[in-house]
Amino acid sequence: MESLLVFTSPPSACSYLPDRRAALTYEIVARMTAAEYQERLKAGWRRFGFSLFRPTCPSCTACQSLRVPVAAFKPDRSQRRCLAANAGDVRLEIGAPEVTDDKLDLYDRFHAFQSDHVGWNDHGPKSAADYAESFVDNPFVTQEWCYYLGEKLVGVGYVDRFPEGLSLIYFFHDPDERARSLGTFNVLSALRVAGEQHLPHVYLGYYVKGCRSLEYKGRFRPHEVLGGDGAWRSAVDV
C-alpha cells in the first residue's frame, strides 16, 4: 500500500448524532490491494474510493464496526417477509462499476427523499465525475450490484470481496419502492451470496445506536462488533 496523505478533521457537529462532536482520521492512498484493505477493515477502517477513514472522536465511541457471521445468521420474521416479497420479483445483476444516467438519476432521487424525510443534508445533483470518484474509481476490483424490477433499475450497491468476506460500501434505491425494504434485501442478498461462496463474514460498516439511518444493521443477528482492544466479539445488545 502506498499512502499519500494522513490527516484528522477538526471536531465538528456529528452527522449521525447531532448532539455529539465528531472527528475522522483519513488516509489517502495511491495504491492498495484487497488483502491490505481487508486488514484495515478488520481494524475498523472504511473506504470510499482511494480514501480510508475511521472515527477518532474526542469523547464518543458510538460508531461500532459491525459484521455478521454468515454461517450463524438466521433471518427474523420481518427479514423473511422481505425475502418473500422480493425474491421472485427483484433481479440482481453483479458486474463492474460504471456511470450511467439511470444510476445518477436514482442516486439523486434517493438523496432528495432522504433529505426531505430523514434529515440528510441536501447535496444537490451528483455529477458523473463525482459519481465515478465515489464508486467507479477504486484501488482494487469492486463489484456493482444492480437490482431490477422488470427492466427498471430500483437499487444499486457497491461491494468489496475479500478471502474473509464481503464488505458493503454503499447502497441507494428507488424511494418509490421503499415498501419493499430494498436496503434490507441488499444485506440479505449479500449474506446469501457470501454463503454460496463460502465466505465467513459480511461487513456492514458502522452501527450507531440512536441514528435512524444506521440502526437497521443491528437487526441482522447474530453479529459481532469490534472492541476498543481490536478484538471482534459477539454482541446481543445493539
Q: What are the sequence ranges of the domains in the chain?
A: 2-55, 64-235
Q: Which three cell numbers stand for residue 168?
A: 458493503
Q: Does 180 score more than 80 pLDDT?
A: yes
Q: How far apart are alpha carbons 74 and 221 in whole angstroms?
A: 7
CA 95 to chain centre: 17
What's the confidence (pLDDT) of residue 212?
85
Q: Does 236 score more than 70 pLDDT?
A: no
User: DSSP string covering the chain, please?
Assistant: -EEEEEEEPPPEE-SSSTTSEE-EEEEEEEE--HHHHHHHHHTT-EEETTEEEEE--SS----EEEEEEGGG----HHHHHHHHHHTTTEEEEEE-----HHHHHHHHHHHHHHHHHT------PPPHHHHIIIII--SS--EEEEEEETTEEEEEEEEEEETTEEEEEEEEE-GGGGGG-HHHHHHHHHHHHHHHTT--EEEEEEE-TT-TTTGGGGGSSSEEEE-TTS-EEEES--
Burial of 141 by CB count in 10 Å (0-12 exposed, 13-18 middle, 19+ buried)? exposed
φ/ψ of residue 172, rounded to 5: -140, 160
Q: What CATH number does domain 64-235 carry, 3.40.250.10, 3.40.630.30, 1.10.150.20, 3.40.50.720? A: 3.40.630.30
What's the confidence (pLDDT) of residue 115?
81
Q: Does 190 score more than 90 pLDDT?
A: yes
User: What are 117-176's pLDDT values in tens digits?
Assistant: 676 777 778 899 999 999 999 999 999 999 999 999 999 999 999 999 999 999 999 999
User: What are 47-92's pLDDT values in tens digits?
Assistant: 999 999 999 998 999 999 999 999 999 999 999 999 999 998 999 9
Q: How far apart are alpha carbons 218 and 67 in whole angstroms?
A: 10
User: Which residue type, as a one-letter code, is found at position 125?
Assistant: P
